[in-house]
Amino acid sequence: MKLFRALCSKLSLIFLALSFSNVGYAGKVSEKDWKQYIPITGQTIQADIMEIQSSEEFEKLAAKLQVGLKKNPEWALEFVGSTPKGQPLPYHENLGLTKQEHAQMLELNQNQGALSLKKSGTIDVTFEPLKDGRIKILTNENSALNNLIISTKEVETRFGNLIDVSDINNQDPKAITGPWKGVKWGKNTVDQKTMVGESIQFCIGKRADNKDQGIIYYDGKILQGYTTPPTQFTQILFFPLAK
């Protein structure tokens, strides 16, 4: 069971890396770049909470995959670990899928047919300007986003500072968010051998098909080894950008 939990932790890093953000390139991001995605500061706005949902077709295939992996946990952990980063799992009969089902699962994942976004509620958010030019996010105290502080070089979170900054240019019309542009701050300290470390990213931007609508994507995975279930969260918000 411990090996299987470890395997699921590792798979989550492979499958949930969300081509969602689709980072275009790393570059020098200025204050102007990210502040264009901030709505009226100091005022409370209502944002839509969006949840990622799997299609019924993908869920059935994923359930079969899970059964197959559970039968061969040691082999599966080695097999997943040997898969190059960013590459899909190659076919093997131990996966519990036929070749046709494996190809179908990859096609659904590649064509964004596996996932969709659905509104699950609303939340009040305030972007509070600080004297030094940084922006503090205030929202529900139970939200992972509450008290995050954004600046040009980093985003301050309860898990430390995210200092790897890059532009986002997602032009994929099949993306679950639709095409969008923005800025990403992140860090990844996960050791793939020990499965210890943190993988966290905060993204903010603007949707291409609705230029008055902003988007926030905040995702984190805190891993503490093979035998401890990971702590993870994902928060996606759509919010009005109109000044």
What confidence score (pLDDT) does residue 10 get?
46
- pLDDT tens track for 211-239: 789 999 999 988 887 667 778 888 999 99
* CA distances to 195, 199, 229, 230 from 12, in Å: 12, 11, 11, 10
- pLDDT tens track for 123-159: 999 999 999 999 999 999 999 999 999 999 999 999 9
Containing H/E element for 197?
Answer: strand 196-207
pTM (2 decimals)? 0.78
- Let me know if 4 is exposed, middle or buried by CB neighbors in 10 A (0-12, 13-18, 19+): middle
Q: Where are the domains of the chain?
A: 22-52+118-240
Mean pLDDT for 43-57 is: 88
